[in-house]
Amino acid sequence: MAQQGQPHMQMQQMQYLQPMPSPQQHEQPQVPQHVQQQFQPMQPQHQITDQGQQQQPQLQQPQPSPTPQLPNGPPPPPQDRLYNTWDALREDVKSFAKSQGYAIVIVSSLNRDAEGQYRRYNLCCAKGGKNYTSHSKGLRNTRSAKTGCPMRMKAIQEKAWPYNDKWHVVVQCAEHNHEPFTGGPGANAPAQFRKIEADGMRWLMIMHREAQCNLRQLTIGIRISFGDKYQYVKKSDVRNMLAKIKREEERKAAADAASQGLPSGAAYTLIPQAHLPPPPMPQPVERMPALPAEMQVPDPDMESDDDGDEL
């Protein structure tokens, strides 16, 4: 019995004396082939063609375009000029801005005097303000010309020296965020450059009524007659101006008719008394001789229509 148990104890001792396997000697678990292909590391896109040279990747990530900056944009109106009236300042500022490729509009008016006249106007570029999003379902493709231009200024009438109750311009922001209008072929001119004033309205009224010109002839004629002032006027502007003149005349005629006691919807108006023709001169009229007594009959207008038969 002792000899049979001795080999068994020797085998157990040999197992305990064997060195423990290191972690690196553990067998790696087998991974399926489709899983190995899924988790393979990404290969670089560039390949080495020559010694020390690498081929650049073909696809490059697009970079966002920077916001256009206009450090040398159109200059603001001069601030060293004094004007006697607001109308003179407005015309001068408008012509200066037009020569530089932008338009000026009124934002608000403040500070009324005792006579009710404003003493301050806030002005800005015509492209200032937020874009208007139309929710109309019409057929016309409308879009806003606003770009949020920050250019702002104010026109003030000050009494203190050295202004002496005259108007002047104070520029609050001179930068623009858009290109100036250059007037190239096919360019869409701002609406302020196409506005027809009193002299153009009078010319259109005469040429439309006296010369019987159509829209095309009126548009070409007003561009030639007034030069650069109305060089951007379109046929639609001429059509709208003629319609405006007609509405104003109809409104004035209705007011005159109401003042004279005529109905507001009357199809006629009254000529002023100073323009009425002179009354006709009395003319001698030969009257017919009276009829003899036997030929006279009762006047039917003097008889009654009642026959006496009705109950």
Write down the pLDDT at residue 237: 93
Give 54's strand partners. 48
Between strands 118-125 and 104-112, the pairing is antiparallel
Mean pLDDT across the chain: 77
* Token pair belonging to 190: 């701002």
- Per-residue pLDDT of 132-182, as tens digits, reads 666 767 666 667 788 889 999 999 999 888 899 999 999 999 999 988 988
| Region 196-203 average pLDDT | 93
Burial 22-53 (b: 16+ CB within 10 A, else e): eeeeeeeeeeeeeeeeeeeeeeeeeeeeeeee
Write down the pLDDT at residue 70: 44
Separation between Cα atoms, residue 241 and residue 251, nearest integer Å = 15
Question: Which regions of the chain does DSSP assign to beta strands (E)?
Answer: 48-50, 53-54, 104-112, 118-125, 152-158, 166-173
Write down the pLDDT at residue 189: 85
Pick from 18-22, 112-116, 228-232: least confident: 18-22
Nearest to 159 by CA among 82, 90, 91: 82
Which of the pair, 272 or 2, is modelled with greater confidence?
A: 272
Contacts 24+ apart (CB under 8 A), 63-70: 68/177, 70/175, 70/176, 70/177, 70/178, 70/179
